[in-house]
Every structure is written in structure tokens, then in C-alpha cells.
């Protein structure tokens, strides 16, 4: 089975600007008909500064939740 060129073009475009992650092309066949799925997954590794900021934010949310604050 040959993958249509327009599907391959979309697959290649999904790889653009990807620094860390994966792009997958899946072919599923049902009742003789092809279905293509392109999935792009990006991974992020925060810097130390971002980690501290995120950790502080989630701690603040936890405090608000435990105190019954919902706004």
C-alpha cells in the first residue's frame, strides 16, 4: 500500500520546529478503507527557574484548595 503524497507532506510539516518529541504516522485499515493519523508529541524540560515557579504555583493552588478557596 502506498501512502499518498499529501499525507507524507502533512507528516513532514508536523516535524517542523520540533526540538524534542515525536511525530508518528499511523495507518488503520477498516473494511478496505485507509485511515491515516498523524500525531505530534512535544516534550518540555523546564529550566530550574521555571521549575521553582511552577512548584510555587502548585503549592499555592494546594493551599487555596485545602482552605476552601475556589475563586
Helices (H), 1-71: 5-14, 48-66
pLDDT greater at residue 58 or residue 27: 27
Counted domains in the chain: 1
In a domain, 39, yes or no: yes
Mean pLDDT of 53-68: 55
| Residue-number span of the structural domain to which 52 is assigned | 5-66
For residue 48, name the pLDDT band (cuts at 50, 70, 90).
confident
In a domain, 9, yes or no: yes
pTM recorded for the entire structure: 0.59
Residues 6+ apart with CB under 8 A from 55: none
In a domain, 32, yes or no: yes
In a domain, 71, yes or no: no
Residues 6+ apart with CB under 8 A from 7: 25, 36, 38
In a domain, 54, yes or no: yes
Positive or negative, the CA dihedral 55, 61, 62, 67 is positive
In a domain, 50, yes or no: yes
Amino acid at each position: 500500500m502506498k501512502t499518498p503524497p499529501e499525507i507524507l507532506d502533512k507528516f513532514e510539516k508536523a516535524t517542523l520546529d520540533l526540538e524534542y518529541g515525536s511525530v508518528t504516522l499511523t495507518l488503520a485499515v477498516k473494511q478496505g478503507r485507509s485511515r491515516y493519523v498523524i500525531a505530534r508529541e512535544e516534550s518540555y524540560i523546564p529550566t530550574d527557574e521555571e521549575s521553582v515557579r511552577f512548584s510555587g504555583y502548585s503549592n499555592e493552588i494546594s493551599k487555596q484548595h485545602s482552605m476552601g478557596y475556589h475563586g
